[in-house]
Amino acid sequence: MGFSIDGVEGLPEIAKGADLAAIIVGATSLEEGDILVITSKIVSKAEGRVVAAADREQAITDETVRVVATREYEGGVTRIVENRQGIIGAAAGVDASNAPDGTVLLLPIDPDASARALATGIRALTGISIGVILSDTLGRPWRDGQTDIAIGAAGVHVFDDLRGATDAAGKPLAVTMPCVADEIAGAAELVKGKSAGVPVAVVRGLGRYVGELDLPGARSIQRPPERDLFRVGADEAYDNGYRDGFDEAQNEGPLRRDL
Amino acid sequence: MGFSIDGVEGLPEIAKGADLAAIIVGATSLEEGDILVITSKIVSKAEGRVVAAADREQAITDETVRVVATREYEGGVTRIVENRQGIIGAAAGVDASNAPDGTVLLLPIDPDASARALATGIRALTGISIGVILSDTLGRPWRDGQTDIAIGAAGVHVFDDLRGATDAAGKPLAVTMPCVADEIAGAAELVKGKSAGVPVAVVRGLGRYVGELDLPGARSIQRPPERDLFRVGADEAYDNGYRDGFDEAQNEGPLRRDL
């Protein structure tokens, strides 16, 4: 029981309108059950999700649904936000790296829909069942560095739902639900890298996770804020509480706000 | 540029005092540059980090350095804590799954030291350079499900430090520092699984991340609370702020507490 991951070499620079499904099929020899991990940046390029670098801050604002936390550093402010894709990360995924000079790339408008279109196209061109994961690189609370995660998925189970299954000793794995889509996206980063210019990797040997095109996408991984113990930053939550407590003591409350 | 991951089959049940290095070497044919991902549970078993299930709550308290957040559910309270290993997670890593009946397993006291001892032993037995990652399964903010991460590491670079490197277009990757140890641990989960009873995986093809035994371990991945925007849960931070604001308005303050 093992698997392999190989980067797809020799892909051309992707321009707006590029037929990514055809380009990827032409550059690979896919097998039934393969999972393609595609860096979301080339999907953004194909979809023309590019704006002038000068408009970066406005683009972040436009992509933001909810500000989660902010941090000042010398030279600016990092905004951790929930973006329109529902993903929580720095700068709403707006990023200059691997973007054309003088521009920044926005995430695809609907990464699950983009993944589904690619999976549909690749399945049609090859006649075999493959899965598609769109990946992006994100930081995380509590741990330094970044990992690639799945921001879009189609034709692949994003969770290995073991709730109700048992461990090797027969004991139930009550709450265990590994997010295999994120683990696969992170694994693919190890061959794609950031500087190698290898935006696509083929994962072979995990066909058990490949399924119908209408399986829940990566959006189903995102935890709704009302279930999230870390839905806003500690400083933002403290400041909200301080303001409400102050007002309450002055008999203008109770004003406990939703976080 | 690719790699493969294979689970190690046929390992015996691990008892206290087991010579894990010898057992793993006996069950594998390792090559220079391999990275072994070892489920921390079998290290806990070898180190005798087992307590009676009845003592679970006390064990969690004993392992806890700092309570980060709590969540009540029908039947109990989940405690998200920073444990003595510096890892933030539910129940301080105290877990009954794959533990002997009537017991729960604690994490190794010092996972980096355990990893270093294993890497040292395996290098001595085989005469080749390999890396060792100890993995555990943790949930995360913002996204449902769990992924395996590195809680211990030796002889392997935990970060692929690209700060100062450039992207394919020659632009600097200012803050990019992929946490390859977490990505490798997550990838290995895909073959080890939770129920398969395969606690060790061999990663082949990532020898570029293997290095000296004195490289920084997994502890270096952990972000200190003072740099962490999510160092406590939103409700806890709000309540701290509310209390302080209330006291302040009653001229008993300022009492702004450290979070």
Q: Which two tokens stand for residue A169?
A: 């000793």
pLDDT 10s digits, B15-31: 999 999 999 999 999 99
Closest chain A residue to B209 measured between Cα atoms?
A: A190
What the block records as the tokens of B238 is 């709000």
Pick the closest to residue B97 from A162, A174, A161 (CA basis): A174
Residue B44 has pLDDT above 50, yes or no: yes
Q: In terms of C-beta density within 10 A (0-12 exposed, 13-18 middle, 19 or more buried), how is residue B124 classed?
A: exposed
User: Would you call A147 and B179 a contact, using CB atoms and an 8 Å cutoff?
Assistant: yes
Q: What is the pLDDT along chain A (259 residues), one digit of tens a residue?
A: 799 999 999 999 999 999 999 999 999 999 999 999 999 999 999 999 999 999 999 999 999 999 999 988 777 888 999 999 999 999 889 988 888 889 999 999 999 999 999 999 999 999 999 999 999 999 999 999 999 999 999 999 999 987 777 777 777 666 789 999 999 999 999 999 766 679 999 999 999 999 999 999 999 999 999 999 999 999 999 999 999 999 888 865 555 554 4
Give the pLDDT of residue A258: 47
Are residues B177 and A140, on separate chains, in Cβ contact within 8 Å? no
Cross-chain CB nearest to B245 (options A88, A176, A242): A242
- Give the pair of three-digit tokens for residue A70: 């902010």
Choose from B229, B255, B256 for mutation: most chain A CBs within 10 A.
B229
Which tens digit of pLDDT belongs to each residue from B202-255? 999 999 999 999 999 999 999 999 999 999 999 999 999 999 999 888 865 555
Residue-level pLDDT at A166 = 75
Which of A242, A250, A257 has the most B C-beta neighbours within 10 Å, making it the best mutation to test the interface with B? Answer: A242
**CB contact burial B186-209 (16+ within 10 A = b; e otherwise):** bbbbbbbbbbebbbbbbbbbbbeb
Say what percent of chain B tops pLDDT 90.
77
Options 1.10.3470, 3.90.1660, 2.60.120, 3.40.50; CATH for B50-107+223-252 is 3.90.1660
Looking at the partner chain, which of B96, B167, B231 has a beta carbon nearest the beta carbon of A194? Answer: B167
Confidence of residue B119 (pLDDT cuts 50, 70, 90): very high
Q: Give residue A199's identity as a one-letter amino acid code.
A: P
Phi and psi torsions of B245, nearest 5°: -65, -40
Q: Select from 3.40.309.10, 3.30.1330.100, 3.30.830.10, 3.20.20.10 the CATH code of A1-49+113-131+140-221.
A: 3.30.1330.100
Mean pLDDT computed over B95-106: 90
CA distance B89 to B139: 7
Please give the pLDDT value at position B164. 75
Average pLDDT over all residues of chain B:
91
Note the pLDDT of residue B237: 96
Measure the CA–CA gap between B206 and B196, rounded to whole angstroms.
24
Q: Percentage helix, strand, coil, to 5, in chain A?
A: 30, 25, 40
Element (H, E) at A59: helix A56-63
**Contacts with A184 from chain B: Cβ below 8 Å:** 187, 190
Query: Contact B133/B185 with Cβ under 8 angstroms?
Result: yes
Which pLDDT belongs to residue A6? 96
pLDDT at A194: 63
Contact A168 B197 (CB under 8 A): yes
What is the model's pLDDT at position B196? 67
| pLDDT value, residue A109 | 95
Q: Is A28 exposed, middle or buried (0-12, 13-18, 19+ CB in 10 A)?
A: buried
- Set of chain B residues whose Cβ sits within 8 Å of the Cβ of A160: 193
What is the per-residue pLDDT for A193?
A: 75
Residue with tokens 């590019």: A50
pLDDT of residue B185: 98
pTM score above 0.80: yes
| Contacts (Cβ under 8 Å, ≥6 apart) of A167 | A173, B97, B98, B194, B195, B197
Residues of A in contact with B142 (CB under 8 A): 88, 222-223, 228, 230
Q: Who wins on pLDDT, B195 or A237?
A: A237
Give the residue extent of every domain in chain A: 1-49+113-131+140-221, 50-107+223-252
Closest Cα in chain B, distance from residue A62 (Å): 21
